[in-house]
Structure 1
Amino acid sequence: MADPSPIRLLLIEDSNIDAMFVTRLLQSNPEITFEIDHATTLADALVLLREIEFDASLVDLHLPDAVELEGFEQIRALDARIPIVVFTGSDDENLALRAIESGAQDVMAKGHVTGQMLFRAVRFAIARQLKVMGFKADADTDPLTGMPNRRQLESQFVEMHAAAQQNHQAMTLALFDVDHFKRVNDAHGHFIGDAVLKEIAKVLLDSIAEGMLASRFGGEEFALLMPGSDIEQAATLVSAILEKLAQNPLTLDSLTITVTASAGLIAVKDGESWGTAYIACDEALYEAKTSGRNRFVINSRKPYPGTARI
């Protein structure tokens, strides 16, 4: 029986021909869908890893900006959770062994691989890494902030929404996006950018009440599920979070950085799916970003004075 969940794969390969070959091999397998992001350099791969949560990575050891295991080790340093399959044109058995000893789940030679072999290698790498990292708990956790990730958020949305309806309670959803986050990375580097994301995660986690769920949604986006809170209560909390961020500059490595965020907010409707709720909330977030930032917008989907500025 086919697994309905697609596998999000980061393919790090400097050869476009080899990348097309690998993509065709994986997408020819009828058992599962692969969503593949392709990076031709280590630098591009590290940017994608900071922005997107991948299920696995397929890594060429010979990249233009990384020698042998250098790229592999930088990926592991950024995200120790991600399963890695090394894909190389080299027949160097010693290099392959070093890759395995450094944490690679498998090593495959480009000239000796079939679609089924590659498919099994990726699937088994994911299964082995989940076991190494602590099974499902780590699969549901953002490795940078320690917060629940998008996978857990979507799962918990279904459970929390069902419980809220059963108890005749309201539930609200907020999406946060850090304003001008690219400027922080460009000015101070990704290390400081990562530290900023960790501090924002701490503000969110410190602000929520028991029963709520704060999550890193991906990149510089965060989400907040608030069962038992109506739109007015949720608006008060979201406003307080934005105000706390704006009025408390972060001190990181002798740097003082003022960070603001924008947010979208909705009241989840009875019987509403995650996909529909997310789209409505993302529309409100987009309006907050385009109307000046450092504010939230409520997509009430009915008449409501739904904007507030911090």
Structure 2
Amino acid sequence: MHRRHLHVLVVEDSDADAVVVRERLTEAALVDVRVERVASLGQAVSALGQTAFDAVIYDMGLPDAQGLPGFRELALAAPDTPIVILTGNDDAELASTALAERAQEFLPKQMMDSPWLLRAVQHAIERHRLLVEVESLALEDPVTGLYNRRGLDFLGRQHLRHADRTGSPVTLLYLDLDAFKAINDAHGHAYGDQVLRAVAEALSSCCRDVDIAARVGGDEFALLVVGDQSGAGSSIAERVGTAIDGLVDRGLVPMDFGVSIGTAQRPGGDRRMDLDHLLRIADLDMYRDKAARRVSRSTQAVLRP
């Protein structure tokens, strides 16, 4: 009979509790569970950045993270991994809030020494898989595979809340393809879709896994960056512009293809600008860039012999 293999990260500071969890996870006959244990939120975030896990079991009473704030930071570090919460606090309101914020299971610690623990992990993995399938239909742009506007709104607000808690800077880029309608009219919509996918690939090449790249309109894209890369919005815009220019060199887009890019930045610790505000600022900056590009093209045409 086929044995299922699972790799589970256990985030638990109590040695005794960690031993119990490991025993309960590894005693099943039909499931081969490999357990990796860390004792703090910081170690968990580091481990998740280096290794893919099938699930995380998270103790909400860690020395460096208490309650929901710690869970939220973990969830942001592991957006694609189901999380099972263990807690000594059997609080119905806390459980409801955690489940609403995408925990897949919430178990009081008195249940960890039972067969229910492994079953809860397996159910969490399956529920998460189904949730990802449903959300991919609702939040993903079918042409490019990037997030759509709904995905940017949903995940962007989560990322801004994380930036509020950590004091991280935020950069938002807004991109508009120049004369995209003319490309569709001249070459057809199938070719236009190829251009959109090429731009999406170029944009994704400038992203970290935690950044949000989205197609937010017919010929409009956005990139939301929180944290390390956010200190220099112009450099991010330059990288994106260079990547898109490379599409011309590779013959993936027409020779006269261009993109106008606007930037909005929110310094670390500044909570005054929400996602809509950042989008408005970046959109206005994009139109300034488009106007400047138009003037530049006109000047070049006049000077051309």
Query: Structure 1 length as normaliser, TM-score?
Result: 0.48
Structure having the higher helix fraction is: 2
TM-score by length of 2: 0.49
Rg (Cα) greater in structure: 2
